Structure 1
Amino acid sequence: MTASATFPAGDKTFLVTGANAGIGYFVAEQLAATGATVVLACRDTAKAELALATIRSRIPDARLRQIPLDLADPATLPAAVEALDTERLDAVVLNAGVMLSDHRRRLSPQGHELMFATNHLGHFALVHRLMPLLTATPHSRVVTVGSFAARSERLDLIDLDSEHDYRPKRSYGRSKLAQMLFGFELDRRLRALGATTASIVAHPGGALDSLTPSRPPLFIRTTAQHLRGLGAGLVLHGKHAGARPIVRAVLDPDIGSGELWGPRIFGLRGAPGRETPRPHMTDPDTAARLWDASVELTGLGRRPWLGAVA
């Protein structure tokens, strides 16, 4: 039985970043099946509308909205939060991400490396803006979507923007590691403040398009893609399955703040399960230094929830 069927959430409101495609789309679809209001926060409005229509074709009574959100440009966040226009926010899923293969280093409008700016800094600034709404909603959740790629990377706090060592795969893995460090550090700070908001980290494992069912017209898996992916299905799974640990982290009341969830089988495929994070993903010193650097890089003023843990 899926998490969306096990944990109905009809009176709740969830925000999913990057919900117009891939993992984010399936997170939104599965959350919509609970009866909750799901807000799709996407940079491309046309693609967001297509995702809404695709979900409604499968769940006719789905309660859906979309707001424009460009995580690469924190200057746009106040308008995005205002557009959210809700009195409660039960969970935000920090899913949107950029993964580049171009060996030419690309920059955000503020001059930061684009993957780090979008995947980590944008979400860091978004949570800062949403925190008053989240803490005002009892037992709300921040679910940070990490990646298996973070396992093999280590953060370079001197070169967060990859100015001196830019390699696309490495920079992507480090940006996801930064997200995960943020998720665990946010848990520590929320608990120190006595907040009921939980910070949970989840990841999809190895999720491939070729193992993902079609969602026309948003995504159509061809027969050739399906056949090419059959062998990979022994160790990986589709994006619909990759969304399940994230949805479980949003819905399951027994999941506690500071936990890491992913696929059970080697962290790559299978039903959701709790994992023990690698030490470098939770290191308090690295996380605190990243937090302080993120405050400076995003231009955020210090607020009580941004303070150091006692």
Structure 2
Amino acid sequence: MIHRRCVGGRRNHGGRVAQGSSRSRLPQQGTPVTMSSTSSTPPWNVQRLPGADGRVFLVTGGNAGIGYFVAEQLSATGATVVLGSRNPAKAEAATASIRARVPGSRVRAVRLDLADLSSLETAVESLEVERLDAVVHNAGVALDDPPREETGDGHELMFGTNHLGHFALTQWLMPLLSAAPAARVVTMGSFAAKSERLDLDDLQSRKDYQPKRTYGRSKLAQMYFGVELDRRLRAAGSTVASVVVHPGGALDSLTPSRPPVHVRSTGARLSAAPAALLLQGKHAGAWPAVRAVLDPAVRGGQLWGPRVFGLRGEPRREPVWDHLADPSVAARLWDASCDLMGTDLSTISG
């Protein structure tokens, strides 16, 4: 478990999070196969996922975008999938869409606002499960223009939601994750983070706020957290593993329609055709996270992304980026995050 002092904060009024027993399948997924040992598992096929009956997965921001497709694809394996969403109406639409495409799916939603740290303990309690086999840290905010915004807790909105929110959520989820035989924390990073570097003296972008750069750095902070979390879990002998993934270049215009969650017009599809040579839709952007949850060959501390230039294609393991592999930066970010939240995640036991 993770020992904690406190998780506090004021209610957020301005943050926005951009996030039967029979086994069913998605039309594009094929028939699930039974997962066994690593040695007997067939080569990974995004169209033929292993079954996960009896397991429980949480997807933050599962009501839209890549998170929706992560939830949809995981639902086809027979697992119980919980969508974490701050918007009940959007969560209801997403669960209805998944149920329509995956008859018999076990999917439901809980209210989860990562920009409101004080609400996270209650959100975890509302899961009403005895264990959690995986969480996909996917929800996020991406602002395109100034001015700089803050959460109700006083943190820059993108850093506070994308990184600190998931950092704190992991704290509350750890007892449930530790109760599972081999749980996974899967952190959704971004290809945009590859060209960014953290300013540890200005994590909140108070001195120089540039929305796109701040977003990239918030995702990089998430990825540092995922890598550092696994180091600490391994040192503690925990059964929980932490894996970092990124979706490559995932565009709405290349994403198949899922009305009312997402509707792609004919014009958008045609205009995006040239981009398909290098980029992909959000349904494919979900593949690395889905593999990180399900594949027994995936290990903690690894980075997974699309096969072709890291931008599109089936998921593959890739080398951890040089700057992301710096343990001193990761440790300093961890300590700074604890200080910002008034939380102690320094001691983890399995």
Q: Please list, as runs of the form range in 1=range in 2, the aligned pairs for 1:48-59 lying within 5 A after superposition.
A: 48-59=91-102
Q: Which residue of 2 aligns with 1:248?
A: 291
Pairing partner for 1:174 from 178, 195, 217? 217
Match of 1:294 among 337, 341, 345: 337
The higher-RCO structure (CA 8 Å, 6+ apart) is 2
Q: For each residue in 1:157-176, what CA deviation from the matched residue of structure 2 results, as whole angstroms up to 9, or x when unmatched?
A: 00000000100010000000
- SS in structure 2 opposite 1:195? coil
Question: For 1:167-206, what aligned pairs fall within 5 Å after superposition?
Answer: 167-206=210-249
Query: How many pairs align?
Result: 306
8 Å Cα contact 1:4-1:247 kept in structure 2: no
Q: Is the 8 A contact 2:115 2:152 kept in 1?
A: yes
Partner letter of residue 43 of structure 1?
R
Q: Percent identity?
A: 63
Structure 2 residue 167 is matched with structure 1 residue 124: yes
Q: Give 1:282 deviation, angstroms.
A: 2.1
User: What SS class does the counterpart of residue 5 from structure 1 fall into?
Assistant: coil
Q: Deviations over 1:195-243 (max 9, x none)?
A: 1111000110000011100111221100010011100000000000000
Matched, 1:232 2:275: yes
Match of 2:306 among 263, 269, 277: 263
Could you tell me how far apart the structure 2 residues matched to 1:186 and 1:33 are? 29
Give the match for residue 262 of structure 2: 219
| CA–CA distance in structure 1, aligned partners of residues 232 and 344 of structure 2 | 17
State the TM-score, normalized to the length of structure 2: 0.86
8 Å CA contact 2:307, 2:314 repeated in 1: yes
Partner AA of 1:249 in structure 2: A
1:139, CA displacement in angstroms?
0.6
Q: 1:178 to 1:302 in 2, by over 3 A?
A: closer
State the 1:29 CA deviation.
0.0
Deviations 1:243-266 (A, max 9, x none): 011100000001011110000000
Q: 1:1-310 counterparts in 2 under 5 A?
A: 2-3=45-46, 5-302=48-345, 304-305=347-348
Q: Match of 1:116, SS?
A: helix
* Deviation at residue 57 of structure 1 after TM alignment: 0.8
* Structure 2 SS opposite 1:194: coil
Could you say what the CA RMSD is over the residues aligned between the two structures, in angstroms? Answer: 1.1
Structure 1 runs of 4+ aligned residues shifted over 6 Å read: none
Contact 2:46 2:314 in 1 (8 A): no
> Could you tell me whether the CA contact under 8 Å between 2:171 and 2:345 is conserved in 1?
no
Partner Cα separation in structure 2 for residue 19 and residue 187 of structure 1: 24
Cα deviation for residue 74 of structure 1 reads: 0.5
Aligned-pair distance for 1:97? Answer: 0.5
The one-character-per-residue Cα deviations of 1:152-195 (angstroms, maximum 9, x if unpaired) are 10000000000001000100000000000000000100000011
CA drift at 1:301: 3.4
Unaligned runs of 5+ in 1: none
How far residue 132 of structure 1 moved from its aligned partner, in angstroms, is 1.2
SS in 2 for 1:305: coil
Task: State the shift of 1:298 in Å.
Answer: 1.4
Deviation at 1:3, TM superposition (A): 4.1
Normalised by the size of structure 1, how large is the TM-score?
0.97
Shift of 1:5: 3.0
Letter of the structure 1 residue corresponding to residue 300 of structure 2? S
- In 1, Cα distance between the equivalents of 2:180 and 2:278? 39
Contact 2:185 2:241 in 1 (8 A): yes
